[in-house]
Structure formats: structure tokens, C-alpha cells
């Protein structure tokens, strides 16, 4: 039998079979066995956790904007991955925009890897982008290690990352389908916005400018495209509206390969509670009402939505807290990486949602989306990425105490359940003095 370096024993361990008492045997960064908590296991170190701790698989967050290189005053690989580790996340996948250069060419992907090398506290993979101008480069980006490809259907606000029209979306989906890659779509339809440049401080008035149809019509459009594309693989990012989830479920039943995510802010926050001028809550697509939030939870539990990821997208305080609280002018994005687990778990407790469900949505399914077979489960053969969570302990969110580079978050002052006591990466506690996160490619090779 292979030598065991560490055994972790806990009365509450989240496995694919649910929550059980277990001993986790670890060798060379991988889980070797998961067996009875009192099993006799010779090991170099034997760690027994207190009964108030639940061991979850390290979370996998596949929707993170670290803005590095190029906008490192907003977030960067060191600060962002530190925040991730503090929040129980052991793997993240970085989005291809908000950095400079945007990740739409192989040289840009290589530059991003150079910027990340030696600075990451957790394992990091990379999505690449699709624009009208790089269709001929997608296969090369895939071969260079991009885990998948992100596109927009509406203006990103970045000249370097223009949106795709219907024909371009179909072409991208066909090309990516031929190489087994997934197309991630930011689904908002520009034809259904009600543009108005005038200032607006009332959140409900702002919502009338971007009604649910902006999302549902875009989802309908990409589903229609996917129905005609052989081998197409489609993923809808940050679903905000429950009607979109119903459309996605129907498409899946029709045989379309489609998955979808939602985010903590859609599950924990409500438009009904957003006060005038509170632009820190602005995100695209927007946070909707309490009734919609309840329906999103129901969609998750029915499997119509597959996962929960942060969409961590920080902006400097002067941008988010602009004079007069103008929702039209403020940039969209919610900073939440470190507290995404706690925000989701706090809302989940009120609905009798279990920790095994949370682990499935926030670890197992995102790992599957990104094609990382060694991530997302506490099971033999998987990386020993572990989150030690005190689920009944609370804390009050103080932005100044978060590891995020910018002290701005929509959760400021909120009391949340779920304190991450420690995070382990490949069988060892994360030590912030020594970054040892790997840069991931397909399938789970590290550099």
C-alpha cells in the first residue's frame, strides 16, 4: 500500500454519498482512501477535527474576474487567490476580459500565465474569449490549454472584446463543438434593453431599463442556435431570472447539451431590499425581486440550474460609489469571492438546503464544467483539496478585513453563517507566505 502522509478524521465529511463520519487518507497530494473514522491507518500525521467542523471538497469557482494583468489596481492573482483560499475555494477559473490584453489570442493567454506564475494561493485555470475577430484562433487557444470559451451577445464596454451576432455565435459553437469545447454565453439581448442615459438612483426604476426579457430572449436565441449545431456544448453564465432556467431545462430535455449557473447575489440578495443610490449592488444581469429569488432556489433543487459560482468582479470604490448613486453610470460587478460560500450557505439554511447540495453546486458541478476530473469531490483519486467549515458559526462582513484588493462589497455589515477555519490544497494547509497554486490546463495538468 502507498505510504500515507496525512489522515484527516472528522465526524462530518461531505462525500458523494452525503454527510458521513470518515477518515481521509492522503498521499502525494491525492486522496487514497475514504473509510471509517476510526480505521487504523499508519500515517506521518493524524489530524482529528472538532465536531463543529464539516469537511467539504475545496470549492471550485469557474466565474472569477481577477483583472490581471492590466488592471491590477482592481484585483490581481495574489490578492484574488488569497481571498479565494480564505473562503474555502481551492480552484478558480479566470475570465478572459477586464484584463489587458484580453485573453483572445495565444500570446495573451501566455502573458496571463506569466503574470500568474508563482503568485497563486489556489489552483487557477483560464477561459479564453470569443470575438468576431478570433474565430480562426479558437482551436489554437484550445490546444494551448484554455478550458473553454466565453462570449457576449451585448456590448461589453470594452473595445477589445466585442459581442457576437447570431451568425457568429453559430459559427463559434460549431467550431468549438468540433473540438469538444464548451461555449460560455453571457446571455443578454441588446434588443430588449430600454436604454436611457439619464441618471437614476431608484433601483426599481433602473430595473425597468433591463427587464427579464433581456435575458430570456437571449437564452431562447442561443438555444435555438444550439438546436441546429451538431456536437454543440453550451453553458449559460450567471442566470438571474427563473424563467431562463425553465427554458434551459426544456432545452436539456430536448437533447441539447446545455448547463447553467447562478450566483450568490441572486440567491442571497433581493431587489426589494436595495435602497436608493446603493450602486454597490449593481451587476449585469441585475438582482431581481424576492419572488424570483425563491424560484431560483427551486430551480437549483430541481436540477434546472447546475451550479453556483461567484462572478467576482470588483471595481474601485469611486466607480461603484459614484456621486448621486446613479445606477446608470456605475459599473456592474459584485465583489464576493471570499464570502460566496458563506452568503450562499446563509440563504440556504433558511430553506433547509443541505451542505451536500452546496458542495455539489459549488464544487462538483463547476469542476465538471471546467473539465477538471481531479477536482470537486472527496473521493479516492481526487486531489486532497479540502475546506474545513464551521457551518453554525457566524461573522459580520467587514470589507476592510477581506483579502480582496478593494474594500468594497454588497455584503458589508451582513452577518453570515459559515466560517472557514482552514483550507487545504493538495493535502496541505494553505500557507499565505508561500503561494503554491498550480496553473491548470486540460485535463488537469499543472505547471
* pLDDT tens profile 371-390: 999 999 999 999 999 999 99
Q: What is the mean pLDDT of residues 17-41?
A: 96
Q: What is the reported pLDDT for 230?
A: 87
Q: What is the reported pLDDT for 195?
A: 78
Domain annotation covers residue 422: no
Q: What is the reported pLDDT for 291?
A: 98
Domain annotation covers residue 447: no
C-beta neighbour count of 75 within 10 angstroms: 27
Shared domain check, 70 and 36: no
At 404-435, the pLDDT tens digits run 999 889 999 999 999 999 999 999 999 999 99
Shared domain check, 174 and 97: yes
**How much is the pTM?**
0.96
pLDDT band at 316 (very low <50, low <70, confident <90, very high): confident
239 to each of 98, 157, 243, 277, 417, how far by Cα in Å? Answer: 20, 20, 9, 24, 24
Shared domain check, 329 and 277: yes
At 164-214, the pLDDT tens digits run 999 999 999 999 999 999 999 999 998 888 877 888 999 999 999 999 999
Give the percent of the chain with pLDDT over 70: 97
Domain annotation covers residue 151: yes
Residue 245 has pLDDT above 80, yes or no: yes
Q: What is the mean pLDDT of residues 51-65?
A: 98
Residue 106 has pLDDT above 80, yes or no: yes
Shared domain check, 65 and 25: no
**Overall domain count for the chain:** 2
Longest dimension (CA), the chain: 69
Shared domain check, 161 and 112: yes
Residue 158 has pLDDT above 90, yes or no: no
Q: Which three cell numbers stand for residue 312?
A: 467576482
Domain annotation covers residue 36: yes
At 107-121, the pLDDT tens digits run 999 999 999 999 999
**Of 156-160, 264-268, 280-284, 344-348, minimum mean pLDDT range:** 156-160
Residue in 326, 310, 307 with CA at minimum distance from that of residue 318 = 326
Q: What is the mean pLDDT of the chain?
A: 94
Q: What is the reported pLDDT for 445?
A: 44
Shared domain check, 15 and 160: no
Residue 96 has pLDDT above 60, yes or no: yes
Residue 442 has pLDDT above 90, yes or no: no
Shared domain check, 148 and 63: yes
3-state SS string for the chain: CCCCCEEEEEEEEEECCEEEEEEEEEECCEEEEEECCCCCCCCCEEEECCCCCEEEECEEEEEECCCCCCCCCCCCHHHHHHHHHHCCEEEEEECCCCCCCCCCCHHHHHHHHHHHCCCCCCEEEECEECCCCCHHHHHHHHHCCCCCEEEECCCCCCCCCCCCCHHHHHHHHHHHHHCCCCEEEECCCHHHCCCCCCCCCCHHHHHCCCCCHHHHHHHHHHHHHHCCCCCCCEEECCCCCHHHHHHHHHHHHCCCCEEEEECHHHHHCCHHHCCCCCHHHCCCCCCCCHHHHHHHHHHHHHCCCCEECCCECCCCHHHHCCCCCCCCCCCCCECCHHHHHHHHHHHHHCCCCCHHHHHHHHHHHHHHHHCCCCCCCCCCCCECCEEEEEEEEEEECCHHHCCCCCCCCCCCCCEEEEEEEEEEECCEECCCCCCCCCEECCCCCEC
Shared domain check, 69 and 13: no
Shared domain check, 296 and 193: yes
Q: What is the reported pLDDT for 194?
A: 82
Query: Is the separation of the CB atoms in 166 and 187 below 8 Å?
Result: no
Note down the domain range covering 250.
58-374+405-414
What CATH code is carried by the domain that includes residue 239? 3.20.20.140
At 319-366, the pLDDT tens digits run 565 556 888 888 889 999 999 999 999 999 999 999 999 999 999 999
Q: What is the mean pLDDT of residues 30-55?
A: 96
Domain annotation covers residue 108: yes
Q: What is the reported pLDDT for 321?
A: 58
Shared domain check, 190 and 43: no
Give the percent of the chain with pLDDT over 90: 89
Amino acid at each position: 500500500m502507498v505510504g500515507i502522509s496525512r489522515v484527516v478524521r472528522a465526524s462530518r465529511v461531505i462525500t458523494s454519498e452525503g454527510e458521513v463520519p470518515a477518515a481521509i487518507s492522503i498521499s502525494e497530494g491525492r486522496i487514497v482512501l475514504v473509510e471509517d473514522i476510526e480505521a487504523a491507518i499508519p500515517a506521518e500525521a493524524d489530524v482529528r477535527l472538532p465536531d463543529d467542523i464539516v469537511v467539504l471538497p475545496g470549492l471550485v469557482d469557474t466565474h472569477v474576474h481577477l483583472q490581471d494583468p492590466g488592471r491590477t489596481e482592481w484585483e490581481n492573482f495574489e490578492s484574488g487567490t488569497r481571498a479565494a483560499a480564505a473562503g474555502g475555494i481551492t480552484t478558480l477559473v479566470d475570465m478572459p476580459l477586464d484584463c489587458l490584453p484580453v485573453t483572445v489570442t495565444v500570446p495573451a493567454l501566455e502573458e496571463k500565465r506569466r503574470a500568474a506564475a508563482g503568485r497563486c494561493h489556489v489552483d487557477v485555470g483560464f477561459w479564453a474569449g470569443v470575438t468576431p475577430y478570433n474565430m480562426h484562433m479558437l482551436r489554437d487557444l484550445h490546444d494551448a490549454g484554455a478550458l473553454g470559451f466565453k462570449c457576449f451577445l451585448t456590448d461589453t464596454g470594452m473595445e477589445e472584446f466585442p459581442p457576437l451576432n447570431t451568425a457568429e455565435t453559430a459559427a463559434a459553437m460549431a467550431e468549438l463543438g468540433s473540438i469538444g469545447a464548451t461555449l460560455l454565453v453571457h446571455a443578454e439581448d441588446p434588443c430588449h434593453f430600454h436604454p436611457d442615459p439619464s441618471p437614476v438612483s431608484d433601483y426599481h426604476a433602473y430595473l425597468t431599463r433591463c427587464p427579464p426579457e433581456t435575458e430570456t430572449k437571449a437564452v431562447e436565441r442561443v438555444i435555438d442556435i444550439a438546436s441546429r449545431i451538431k456536437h454543440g456544448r453550451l453553458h449559460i453564465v450567471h442566470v438571474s431570472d427563473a424563467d431562463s432556467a425553465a427554458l434551459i431545462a426544456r432545452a436539456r430535455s430536448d437533447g441539447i447539451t446545455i448547463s447553467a449557473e447562478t450566483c450568490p447575489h441572486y440567491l442571497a440578495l433581493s431587489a426589494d431590499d436595495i435602497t436608493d443610490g446603493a450602486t454597490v449592488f449593481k451587476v449585469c444581469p441585475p438582482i431581481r425581486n424576492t419572488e424570483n429569488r425563491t424560484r431560483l432556489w427551486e430551480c437549483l433543487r430541481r436540477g434546472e440550474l447546475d451550479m453556483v459560482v461567484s462572478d467576482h468582479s470588483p471595481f474601485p470604490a469611486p466607480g461603484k460609489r459614484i456621486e448621486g448613486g446613479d445606477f446608470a453610470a456605475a459599473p456592474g460587478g459584485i465583489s464576493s469571492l471570499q464570502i460566496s460560500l458563506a452568503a450562499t450557505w446563509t440563504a440556504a439554511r433558511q430553506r433547509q438546503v443541505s451542505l451536500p447540495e452546496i458542495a455539489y453546486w459549488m464544487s462538483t458541478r463547476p469542476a465538471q464544467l471546467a473539465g477538471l476530473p481531479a477536482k470537486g469531490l472527496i473521493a479516492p483519486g481526487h486531489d486532497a483539496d479540502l475546506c474545513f467549515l464551521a457551518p453554525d458559526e457566524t461573522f459580520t462582513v467587514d470589507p476592510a478585513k477581506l483579502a480582496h484588493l478593494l474594500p468594497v462589497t454588497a455584503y458589508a455589515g451582513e452577518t453570515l453563517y459559515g466560517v472557514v477555519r482552514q483550507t487545504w490544497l493538495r493535502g496541505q494547509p494553505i500557507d499565505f507566505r508561500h503561494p503554491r497554486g498550480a496553473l491548470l490546463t486540460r485535463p488537469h495538468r499543472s505547471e
